[in-house]
Amino acid sequence: MADLSRCLPLERSSVEAAHNLIKPYIHETPVLTCQTFNDLASTPQLPSALIGTPFEGQRPATPKMNFFFKCENYQRIGAFKIRGASYALEHLSKAELRNGVVTHSSGNHAQALALAARTRHVRAYIVMPTISTPSKIAATQGYGADVIFSGSTSEDRESVVEDVIKRTGATLVPPYDHPDIILGQGTMALELEAQVRELVHEDPALSVRYKATANGDGGPGTGGRENGTSEDVRDGNSTHHETPPTTKGTPSACVCPAQRAGHYPHLHAVLAPLGGGGMLSGIATAMAPTPTLVFGAEPSFQGADDGRRGLLQRARIPSVKTLTIADGLRTPLSPLTWSVVSDQSKVEGVYAVTEEQIKRAMRLVFERMKVVVEPSAVVGLAVALWDEGFRRVVEERGGEGGWDVGVVFSGGNVGVEALGELFGGKRKGEREVGTVGRDGGRVAENVAG
């Protein structure tokens, strides 16, 4: 990988520089809104839903949220990973690219590096665990990469990668554990900011700040249209405008219809999936100088919530062994990404959701927004809808006015067969079965997405 001495610092200006460099290789993905999800999130959960949680017997929270969905499922290769892979390759020298590039990934980074390498006429070697989904394996091969299979333990993958490097001289491009990857992934946050500004400029009612302005009192009104006449799903595939940095703690201002798009103050929060931490670290780096709070979301199944648990223990958890359906989030934070995620001035908190909540969120997105997303993509939405801890934060800190929340849909690489198995009542889908480990045991350890 590129020498760390050549890397830009993890700062917003570096994310802006990365964005300018990779624009020819990525899509500016749309931002969608959906009144149905605003209504669902702004409705208290039933008391029965809190049974067995730390909030059992307490009054359910009554937050107010309006969502802005950054749809990276419409990105090239169907996921955000092309951003980091493209920037990483832009930073490699001709000598480093001469013998090709190599990585290990269960799917999305594999596809991203394969496409980024093909675009630059560079050979790509992708080490994929045998538990990878068939659709992602096929896509990676379709981009012209040499796919080499391994077991899914760290030892298995690292051994195969080392063999490839010795045999070919290829340069390693890690899935998340490098500043260039982090800066590339953070570029989506710049787009999200600008697109939300433009959307709210065109229709101020999309923001929770609208009602106060409409009432003319300048105060923190409840937000949203009272008569519910807004279109259920809106497309915000807007032209990118650079966003000037602001300062944490800047008071929120109400949006007047006469104001220009650039005067929309800021999103109150962004929720993004957390696996190895490259994307969340990038978003947090981009948002650090702004008042926007950044939160991570993880699956809880079989200890996949290493970020949440690590923050509670004040120590990074180095290993994760899980077969969560959110297969892109089966990996722990690295020391580098942990240094960002554990910095509360950059990441406000991390929450976790169950497998059933992930499936419920997927179904709702399919049925209400008509958008195809993979399980890993909806953990942020699931947190906003059903994690009572996060909902109480919004209620307490947002008050009656509530929050405008950006939610990242990180990818949409899910096969039709897998969807049928996930929602057809069968217990095993393609994301759960497979032979992993050299001994044939079904243990997936630290599998990068």
**Closest CA relative to residue 68, chosen from 204, 207, 188, 259:** 207
Q: Is 238 a catalytic residue?
A: no
Buried b / exposed e over 338-371, threshold 16 CB at 10 Å, is bebbbeeebbbbbbbbebebbbbbbebbeeebeb
Q: Which of 106, 281, 300, 342 is catalytic?
A: 106
For residue 411, the cross-strand partners are 79
For residue 408, the cross-strand partners are 70
Residues near 290 by beta carbon (within 8 Å), at least 6 away in sequence: 193, 243, 245, 246, 247, 248, 266
Tokens of 236: 């915000």
Q: Is 346 a catalytic residue?
A: no
**How far is the C-alpha of 344 from the C-alpha of 63, rounded, in Å?**
23
Q: Which of 64, 81, 136, 211 is catalytic?
A: 81
**Closest CA relative to residue 410, chosen from 195, 112, 158, 177:** 112
Is the CB of residue 246 less than 8 Å from the CB of residue 291?
yes
Neighbours of 47 (CB within 10 A): 13
Q: Which amino acid is at 211?
A: K
Catalytic positions are 81, 106
